[in-house]
Amino acid sequence: MKRIELKELPELIVKQVENIEQQYSKKIEVFSDYEQQDFLTLDQADHVIKDDMIKISITNEKYAEFVLSHELHHIELELSDEPSISSALTTGKQDFDGRVLAIANSVFETLEHVTVLKKQKEDGTYTDEIKTEYLKGIEAALHPKVELDRANMRFYRTLIMLDGMIFSEHACDDEWQQEFAMSYKYADKMAKIIEDNDLTVPFQFRRALVNALDAYNEIIISNGYQGLHFHTFLNITPVVSKRQLRLSLNQVYQIKHSEFRNRATGRDGFVLIGINDGQGVATLNLDPQKVTPEFYKTFYQYTVEQVFKEQGTKYLIR
């Protein structure tokens, strides 16, 4: 990889970099790792944030300005007050763990694309040419040169199509509905959930994410597979009111003795689940041998704020 100096970048990108560096006290370095690209896709840049350093690498030279601007908008969202996904549990099957997280992160990024698309239209990096090239990549992804069984192809296409719907502003919906009716049905349902919420509001972003993952689970279950346990396997940053912080834990959350293991300790996992939506918000650091009826009785009387502080749970104020 080759380091790209700031002065070598387009003025628009320089301004984005400087804004992020000033607002979040981070240092951004950009590296080129150019490859021959057959299509324009939204993963031709990635980044790593470590302490006060952000390293971005890009692989598409022809559309470098678009790809870089896109990645910088994602970075801005990541650094902002936006709910995030994490998991501290394991099913004991590394491939399955990775699949659940990959799907959840794919849906998460599609939610971010609503805002990123708006910003890129405003800054001029999303053009008619970009839209055309992006859709060529989506079409190629919808017709992969690999053999999958019918159900798994539907699962895969639903995610690709969902992102295509959002980032192309539904440019190919009619064609996709005709060609991939089942995947279209669920992608369209997920898109409606996403677009019916104001994703600049953390509470609505979180609600849309939880509901979109539920909708994705429907296509899995409808094809005879077991659901992916998004509610208990994943933690999604809680968004609570100041009043809820003062309430006793049992008024807002319940503790679930998970069927999965705590990845860090190898012991039984305990998940804090929201009563209102059934979604996990934290994996509790508890000793299974000490989790007795008396423990529950005492623990449930702590305030939500006390438990969040004790467990190191990040939260956002609604």
Q: Cα 219 to chain center, whole Å?
A: 19
Q: Which of 229, 251, 270 is the last residue of a domain?
A: 229
Predicted confidence band of residue 180 (pLDDT cuts 50, 70, 90): very high
* Mean pLDDT, residues 148-170 taken together: 96
In a domain, 92, yes or no: no
Q: What is the pLDDT of residue 145?
A: 87
d(CA 124, CA 69): 10
Residue range(s) defining the domain that contains residue 32: 2-79
Q: Which of 229, 259, 274 is the last residue of a domain?
A: 229
Residues 222 and 242 in one domain: no
Beta bridge partners of 45: 58
* Mean pLDDT, residues 270-282 taken together: 97
In a domain, 90, yes or no: no
pLDDT digits (tens, 9 = 90+) for 14-35: 999 999 999 999 999 999 999 9
Please report, to the nearest 10 degrees, the dihedral formed by the alpha carbons of residues 145, 151, 155, 157 taken in order: 40
* Mean pLDDT, residues 220-247 taken together: 96
Residues 155 and 244 in one domain: no
pLDDT digits (tens, 9 = 90+) for 48-101: 999 999 999 999 999 999 999 999 999 999 999 999 999 999 999 999 999 999
pLDDT digits (tens, 9 = 90+) for 210-229: 999 999 999 999 999 999 99
Q: What is the pLDDT of residue 103?
A: 97
Distances from the Cα of 257 to the Cαs of 91, 291, 309, in angstroms?
14, 10, 21
Q: What is the pLDDT of residue 147?
A: 79
**Domains of the chain: total:** 3
Q: What is the pLDDT of residue 148?
A: 81
* Mean pLDDT, residues 198-208 taken together: 97
Predicted confidence band of residue 146 (pLDDT cuts 50, 70, 90): confident
